[in-house]
């Protein structure tokens, strides 16, 4: 007796149906799995464009599978895949705590890693300017007064004695020292924000701010070094400066990214390129504000409680190592920065 024709036909139809539509299901499953393990930010631009099309195609396949009574395993698979995709596309947004964890665990470090070229350029520019500032003031002390504002110098100039300069580094009860530290922090915060905000002007103001900040740093070292206090100044700056200067460099990198996107938009329009760069730079800048807050705490507490050069260097060096490990540790995925 011959086998019934219907089951054989159904099996053939199911196989053909899988062969025709299976690649789309596989793509959707891959994208949904990536979103479940990480987030939608892990998808590329092409994947984001494909996602709704693949979802609608899978729903259409599910409808056909139900109407034509294809095998239950296939219907169950399509129902489960459609449900997972629906939850990722239209499910409730993550809680505030989940978004906060995502920012610190993925978005902020990914944004900083994506700016590594601009960060390196900002760092090199700052260090070169510091060297130039040091050489200018060392060879001609009059340059100090052209670089450093009077309210920032406040007696810390080439005419100050070694005793007076040393007092500014260790006397925690000195009200002038507190004023100087507060002014320095405010100045650096303004430089960081300015580096980012002025990046749209083809990054030229950003570069100038970084150069000026480096010149100031070098000028101060040129004042303390002849008195034998360069290592002491370095220790004083390190306790909070590793975080503060790192924040300024990242802000400069963010400004460079926006400026270069405006100047060289590539195939995209200048506005689209600026918007895309702005999203990435803004993510990095949110973290920069937090870094400046940490630097303020380190400066305020460390300046008053830690007077040992070794302890200051240890705290500053450990903080710098922590930031570098957080942003650039091996194994972090830098292929999909925040958009």
- Whether 109 is in a domain gets the answer yes
Q: 223: burial class by Cβ within 10 Å (0-12, 13-18, 19+)?
A: buried
Tokens of 106: 């993925």
Single residue among 31, 62, 92 that ends a domain in this structure:
92
What is the pLDDT at residue 168? 84
Query: Are 102 and 94 contacting, i.e. CB atoms less than 8 angstroms apart?
Result: yes
Single residue among 92, 114, 147 that ends a domain in this structure:
92
Q: Given a cut of 70, is residue 124 above it in pLDDT?
A: yes
Quick one: 26 and 81 in the same domain? yes
- Whether 337 is in a domain gets the answer no
Quick one: 86 and 136 in the same domain? no
- Whether 224 is in a domain gets the answer yes
Quick one: 45 and 126 in the same domain? no
Quick one: 162 and 248 in the same domain? yes
Q: 201: burial class by Cβ within 10 Å (0-12, 13-18, 19+)?
A: middle
- Whether 298 is in a domain gets the answer yes
Quick one: 88 and 119 in the same domain? no
What is the pLDDT at residue 287? 94
Quick one: 24 and 69 in the same domain? yes
- Whether 334 is in a domain gets the answer no
What is the pLDDT at residue 178? 61
The per-residue b/e assignment along 112-124, b for 16 or more CB within 10 angstroms, e otherwise, is: bbbbeebbebbbe
* DSSP3 helix / strand / coil % (the chain, rounded to 5): 80, 0, 20
Tens digit of each residue's pLDDT (9 = 90 or more) over 202-233: 899 999 999 999 999 999 999 999 999 999 99
Q: Which residues contact 101 (CB under 8 A, 6 or more apart)?
A: none
Helix H or strand E segment including 315: helix 309-328
- Name the phi and psi angles at 326, rounded to 5: -65, -45
This prediction has a pTM of 0.71
Quick one: 176 and 51 in the same domain? no
Residue 4's pLDDT band (cuts 50, 70, 90):
very low
Single residue among 71, 92, 113 that ends a domain in this structure:
92
Quick one: 280 and 254 in the same domain? yes
- Whether 180 is in a domain gets the answer yes
Q: Given a cut of 80, is residue 182 above it in pLDDT?
A: no
What is the pLDDT at residue 7? 42
- Whether 241 is in a domain gets the answer yes
Mean pLDDT along residues 272-280: 88
Report d(CA 169, CA 159) in Å as an integer.
17
Quick one: 132 and 74 in the same domain? no
- Whether 195 is in a domain gets the answer yes
Tens digit of each residue's pLDDT (9 = 90 or more) over 289-324: 999 988 888 887 776 688 899 999 999 999 999 999
Quick one: 162 and 249 in the same domain? yes
Q: Which domain holds residue 107?
A: 103-328
What is the pLDDT at residue 68? 81
For tokens 């406040």, the residue is: 154
Q: How far is CA 35 from the centre of its chain?
A: 21
Query: Are 186 and 248 contacting, i.e. CB atoms less than 8 angstroms apart?
Result: no
Tokens of 79: 């129902």
Quick one: 87 and 120 in the same domain? no
Please give the residue that has the higher pLDDT: either 127 or 267: 127
- Return the half-sphere exposure (C-beta side, CA atoms, 13 A cut-off) of residue 262: 14
User: How many domains, the chain?
Assistant: 2
Report d(CA 291, CA 289) in Å as an integer.
5
What is the pLDDT at residue 9? 45
Quick one: 87 and 119 in the same domain? no
């Amino acid at each position: 007796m011959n086998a019934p024709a219907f089951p054989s036909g159904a099996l053939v139809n199911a196989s053909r149906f899988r062969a025709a539509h299976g690649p789309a299901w596989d793509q959707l499953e891959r994208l949904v799995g990536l979103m479940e393990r990480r987030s939608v930010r892990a998808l590329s631009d092409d994947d984001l464009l494909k996602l709704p099309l693949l979802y609608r195609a899978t729903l259409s396949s599910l409808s056909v599978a139900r109407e034509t009574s294809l095998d239950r395993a296939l219907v169950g698979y399509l129902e489960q895949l459609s449900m997972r995709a629906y939850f990722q596309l239209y499910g409730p947004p993550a809680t505030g705590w989940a978004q906060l964890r995502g920012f610190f665990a993925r978005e902020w470090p990914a944004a900083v890693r994506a700016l590594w070229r601009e960060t390196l350029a900002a760092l090199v520019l700052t260090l070169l300017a510091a060297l130039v500032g040091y050489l200018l003031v060392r060879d001609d002390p009059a340059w100090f007064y052209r670089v450093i504002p009077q309210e920032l110098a406040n007696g810390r100039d080439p005419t100050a004695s070694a005793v007076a300069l040393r007092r500014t580094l260790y006397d925690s009860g000195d009200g002038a020292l507190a004023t100087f530290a507060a002014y320095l922090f405010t100045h650096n915060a303004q430089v960081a924000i300015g580096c980012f905000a002025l990046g749209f002007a083809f990054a030229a103001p950003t570069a100038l701010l970084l150069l000026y900040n480096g010149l100031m740093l070098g000028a101060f070292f040129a004042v303390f070094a002849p008195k034998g206090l360069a290592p002491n100044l370095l220790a004083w700056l390190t306790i909070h400066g590793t975080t503060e200067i790192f924040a300024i460099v990242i802000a400069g990198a963010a400004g460079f990214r926006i400026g270069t996107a405006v100047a060289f938009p590539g195939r995209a329009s200048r506005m689209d390129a600026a918007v895309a760069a702005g999203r990435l730079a803004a993510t990095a800048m949110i973290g920069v504000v937090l870094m400046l807050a940490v630097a303020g705490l380190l400066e305020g507490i460390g300046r008053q409680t830690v007077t040992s050069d070794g302890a200051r260097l240890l705290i500053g060096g450990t903080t710098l190592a922590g930031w570098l490990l957080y942003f650039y540790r091996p194994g972090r995925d830098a292929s999909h920065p925040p958009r």
